[in-house]
Amino acid sequence: MEYPSAVRQPIKFLIVLVAGLGLLTWGAFLVMQETTRGWVERDLTLRARLAANGAAPALATGFRAGKPAELRTALLNLVRDERILGVSACAPEGRLVATAGTTPAGFGCDRLKSFVVPPGLALGVPSREWMHVASVPGGTAHLSALPIEDEGGLAGFVILVHDMAFAERREAQGRNLLLVAFFLLSLCAALVTIVAVRLSWRGWTRQLQRVLKGGAQSDEFRPLLRDVRELVDDIMTERDADGDSGAWTAERLKHTLKRNLHGEKIVVVSNREPYIHDRAPDGSLRVLHPASGLVTALEPVMRACSGVWIAHGSGTADREVVDKHDRVLVPPDEKIYSIRRVWLTEEEEKGYYYGFSNEGLWPLCHVAHTRPLFRTTDWNHYQAVNRKFADAVCAEAEIEDPIVLIQDYHLALAPRLIRDQLPRATVIGFWHIPWPNAERFGICPWREELLDGMLGASMLGFHTQAHCNNFLDSVDRYLESRIDRERQAVVQQGRSTLVRPYPISLEWPVRWLADLPPAAECRRSVLAELELPEGTLLGVGVDRLDYTKGIEERLLAVERLLELRPEFLGKFVFVQLAAPSRTAIDRYRDLNASVEAIARKINLRFGDGSYQPIILKASHHEPPVVFRYYRAADVCYVSSLDDGMNLVAKEFVAARDDERGVLVLSQFTGAARELTEALIVNPYDLDESAGALGAALTMPLDEQRTRLRSMRAFVAEFNIYRWGGRMLRDAARLRRRDRLTGRLSDRFAAHFPGAEA
């Protein structure tokens, strides 16, 4: 039975409360048991001494006279006590002289030598007594060995055996009493706690209502009130002009741009271009879509907003298709916006891109156990290339305050360089990868320069609030600035840079799905292409070959699955679509070789002539092919070791309009904070990952539909148009503020030409 969250919380509290009280009660019972038993043993010892002392004259006479009958008479007087099971009179040398009552076997004079007298003490030591508690049939008994003396010295010993059943009855009564007290205490504590919580909640709710209605404010509610007001403001500003707050679409984004920015074109700047013109081996011209989450996210925004995309021209035919201004209209069949290509020399590309960006900043920002390398020559090229991009932005700007979106870690210096040339530009920087903590960022020799370059932006966006916090901590540690934690801003020389989380997403619906057949047909075609029989369980992974993506760990998890669940042998095949990446870097070449070796090892171990559990397709795949595999798969595994967002997870969710299939998702992705219905795993834990894959492959269809329906609703609502609309709306606010500030400064300068504004 599934309880609502409002009921689950009190139940959890009561479970913890009862468990805690139970532990306390058990501890109290153990203490009470030990204390009571000690009291009983001391009481029995005292009783034994009193009994022996009372009968001592008669016992001494009997011992000296050697008259067992007299001794037995004295012993019979002792066993009248109902708690004494039996009494034995023993000669000094340990011989039984007389007995009375029922002495348990082994508790008479025959035990006197082995038990009563410790090693090294001979019998006959006067005034020596020994006590012991031992088990007897039916319970426990207290054994007392007491010396009987007269004027002539030691006459003998008397052994008294007390029944301790009464002590056990007391313990049982005490235990029952504690259980009753525990039950009553738990019940009372639960009732008091629930009543107290209800009263507190009612008072807290009333106070909150007063605050929200404009009543007296308190420090306790001020942060919450601020967040509520910001949320209401966001909701209100997202409404269309007619007051309707519909879903975010390309048309709505265009309308937002027209209303807030008067339809002005935006300038997007990134290292990677959205379309690559390349020469095929046969000499024909082809257009490729790079395997890039950045391009996947931003290209729909450019289609909606138009403008210019400034990027590095990396294709072998890129120079052939541009005009004299290095521009080309794209997409090829629609020509909605233009790409302005920036050309780099081989040395610049090696130092700026492969060197500083991907051997330095990339491993610095990803916790993936690869050492960052920083070289002065690479840094010099990085500076020079950032200037090239900044100059291209200024050349493309049609007004003095354009909207510029600078993307990712390749261009950290560009915001400041653009600001120096276009002081009134609204510059938005977005960092697509994780931002490390301040200690790790401090590894970079040029940390201050990078931070200063980024703070040239009007706004800085990250995927998560944690990345925003890490950035602010880095600025606080390494730069002279003021951190406004309440506004999430950095203030330098009177200028503020806002730092905000903007979780990136996909277009909805994804345009690549429009021409694809239904999921069932995609599955048949993929199985036929891979020469796999119908009924094969298919897993898929889609990545660039990058060490941060956890591809090695992913394949090892498949191996572990086949070890733990041999029923999947011959039935489960995992396909890894892996686009080669940055092969000029040794670490990436090593990764390629390692992935191929792991796949080969697994196939040799579990495969045969007709069955290979791993299919590695290490080549570039265009989006229609990738989405066809998404639709065909039973499970998609995203195993990133560290990732800003990871759009593969959202692409798989968007592709599954049949609401079938399961997403297994690394906890170290930004997407794991949003797609909570996925099976979240630690990719380093191979057993956990293998277990999740097994659970995914056997998950009932109803549960698959429930999970995917929820995730699809989230991706549809928080799509790329909403992401772009939020950033552009915030940029419009800043722009209006800056324009107002600029007009006031101009008026001040006109009236007081000799003064500084």
The predicted pLDDT at position 4 comes to 44
Q: What are the structure tokens assigned to 659, written together?
A: 């609401």
What are all long-range contacts of 124-127, with beta carbons under 8 Å and residues at least 24 apart? 124/92, 124/153, 124/154, 125/154, 126/153, 126/154
The predicted pLDDT at position 219 comes to 61
The predicted pLDDT at position 489 comes to 93
Domains of the chain as residue ranges with CATH: 19-163 (3.30.450.20), 185-239 (no CATH), 262-501 (3.40.50.2000), 532-718 (3.40.50.2000)
Q: Exposed (0-12), middle (13-18) or buried (19+): which is 233, by Cβ within 10 Å?
A: exposed
Q: What are the structure tokens assigned to 354, written together?
A: 């492969």
Q: Is 312:273 a contact under the CB 8 Å cutoff?
A: yes
Positions in the chain whose pLDDT score sits under 70:
1-14, 82, 106-107, 110-129, 137-138, 208-245, 263, 291, 739-757
CA 581 – CA 297 distance, rounded (Å): 19
Residues contacting 256, CB < 8 A, separation 6+: 725, 728, 729
The H or E element that residue 180 is part of is helix 165-212
CA 222 – CA 202 distance, rounded (Å): 19
**Helix 250-261 / helix 720-751 crossing angle, nearest 10 deg:** 10
Task: Give the model confidence (pLDDT) of 269-300 as tens digits.
Answer: 999 999 999 998 888 899 888 867 788 888 88
Q: What are the structure tokens assigned to 99, written together?
A: 């007995």
Alpha-helical segments (H) within 530-662: 551-564, 586-606, 623-632, 647-655
Pick from 378, 374, 356, 458: nearest CA to 416: 458
- Partners of 544 in beta bridges: 579
Distance of CA 137 to the CA centre of its chain: 58
CA 660 – CA 572 distance, rounded (Å): 17
Q: Exposed (0-12), middle (13-18) or buried (19+): which is 96, by Cβ within 10 Å?
A: middle
Q: What are the structure tokens assigned to 57, written together?
A: 């004259």
Alpha-helical segments (H) within 66-164: 68-78
